[in-house]
Amino acid sequence: MNNNKNILLWCTVFALFALVSCKPVDDSLEEWRLENEAAYNAIKDDPEWTLLDTGDGPSGIYFRDLTEPETVIGDEYPLETSSVTVNYTGKFHNGQIFDKGSKNTFAVNGTVRGFGAALQQMRVGQKWEICIPYYLGYGVIGKGSIQPYTTLFFEIELLQINRYP
């Protein structure tokens, strides 16, 4: 008799799990995912954008160099553990700004993977526009006003490398 109760309990748990797992996908979230996927694919096909070579690091980040021709460029790159000072503007694929900072200082490894990986390829004085696929940004979960599956666009100007470990 006790064995039958255990079987019934497990069947109930499994049935509840199956019901929760089969909930329909929110249409607006699916539309958002498709829009972001299309924006990312458009960048991949645009000759003005270059796939960032991160060596053994994360792949899928695209960039455009916006550095003014007369700008003095440093010769050091930040490490993952470096602290940097940057100007930046974060936008969604539709151009809406979700974050902006002027002379902000933070650790390279304290940002989303794609942002940090791009910073490690920049030198002081450079200004880039980068495109980060959702899986190197906030992923399938999102954060705050950033929905899941969001392709992130940033303009970044690396002002200073503050310290090395």
Contact 137, 146 (CB under 8 A): yes
Per-block mean pLDDT, blocks of 10 residues, the chain (165 long)? 58 48 69 97 96 89 96 91 97 97 96 96 97 97 96 98 75
How many residues does the structure list for the chain?
165
Domain that holds residue 48: 26-163
pLDDT value of position 23 = 44
Does residue 16 belong to any structural domain of this protein?
no
pLDDT value of position 123 = 96
pLDDT value of position 21 = 46
Please name the helix (run of DSSP H) or strand (run of DSSP E) that holds residue 71, with its range, or none.
Answer: none
pLDDT value of position 4 = 62
Does residue 1 belong to any structural domain of this protein?
no
pLDDT value of position 163 = 73
What is the number of domains present in the chain?
1
Pairwise CA distance, residues 38 & 44, whole Å: 10
pLDDT value of position 22 = 45
Does residue 8 belong to any structural domain of this protein?
no
pLDDT value of position 3 = 61
* CATH number of the CATH domain containing 144: 3.10.50.40
pLDDT value of position 13 = 46
Please name the helix (run of DSSP H) or strand (run of DSSP E) that holds residue 20, with its range, or none.
Answer: helix 2-21
Q: What is the DSSP letter of 73?
A: -
Does residue 122 belong to any structural domain of this protein?
yes
Does residue 35 belong to any structural domain of this protein?
yes
Total-model pTM: 0.81
What do you get for the CA distance between the two ends of the chain, in Å? 65
Distances (CA, A) of 159 to 21, 74, 89, 97, 104: 47, 10, 14, 21, 9
Contact 117, 58 (CB under 8 A): yes
